[in-house]
Amino acid sequence: MGTEAIGKTSPATQSNHPHKPLKLKTFLMILVMVICGPLGNVLLGKGMKQVGAIALWPLSRLFFDATRIFATVPIWLGICSLLVFFVAYMLVLSWADYSFVQPASALAYGVVAMLGYFMLGEDVSPLRWTGIAIICMGVFIVSRTTPRTTNPKVADPG
């Protein structure tokens, strides 16, 4: 083990010697997730506020409201943002542990509070800041463990 780890790493050695690029690309993807996820939700919320309350009945009203929803720019921006989030999520799960990615993506709770505080001028209570600090501590501890503890498979390029 280890001697053939240089150059073309075999899957087995990679799992035992998680190297820098693995951590780097994992953090890059988690960064994309924690920015695009909350941003998408905020945009959807903004879009739905523009649309207002939805009538479910009669069906013609529902159809009319649906067309109004899809004619709203923030809704589409939100959907795009959430699509980027999901692609990043799929990619990171193709190599990293779920038990690593899931707690790390909790940073999104902090990002939402930051977005609210700096962009929308919302009040963030001390209890909330405390919670964010504890989440960051938890994420820091999780991130010190290796992103992958199982034997990986490499997606063949063809």
Partner 1 sequence: MRVFILFSIIILAGTAGELCVSLAMKRVGEATSFHPAHILRVVMRGLRQPWMWVGVGMMALAFFALLGALSIFNVSFVVPVTALSYIAGALGGAVFLHERVNLWRWIGVLLVAIGVTLVVLGKS
**In the complex, minimum distance from the CB of residue 9 to partner 1, in angstroms, rounded to a whole number:** 11
Distance between CA atoms of 74 and 70, rounded to whole angstroms?
Answer: 9
Nearer of residues 71 and 114 to partner 1, judged by Cβ:
114
- Asked if 105 and 34 count as a contact pair (C-beta separation under 8 A), the reply is yes
**In the complex, minimum distance from the CB of residue 50 to partner 1, in angstroms, rounded to a whole number:** 21
**In the complex, minimum distance from the CB of residue 58 to partner 1, in angstroms, rounded to a whole number:** 22
User: CB-based burial of residue 143 (10 Å sphere; 0-12 exposed, 13-18 middle, 19+ buried)?
Assistant: middle
Nearer of residues 75 and 132 to partner 1, judged by Cβ:
132
Distance between CA atoms of 66 and 125, rounded to whole angstroms?
Answer: 36
**In the complex, minimum distance from the CB of residue 126 to partner 1, in angstroms, rounded to a whole number:** 7
Residues that bind partner 1 (CB under 8 A): 25, 87, 89-91, 93-95, 97-103, 106, 109-110, 113, 123-145, 149-150, 152-157
Nearer of residues 12 and 141 to partner 1, judged by Cβ:
141
First to last CA, the chain: 28
- Asked if 86 and 54 count as a contact pair (C-beta separation under 8 A), the reply is no
Nearer of residues 5 and 138 to partner 1, judged by Cβ:
138
- Asked if 112 and 60 count as a contact pair (C-beta separation under 8 A), the reply is no
**In the complex, minimum distance from the CB of residue 70 to partner 1, in angstroms, rounded to a whole number:** 20
> What is the biggest distance separating any 2 CA atoms in the chain, rounded to whole angstroms?
70
Nearer of residues 77 and 87 to partner 1, judged by Cβ:
87
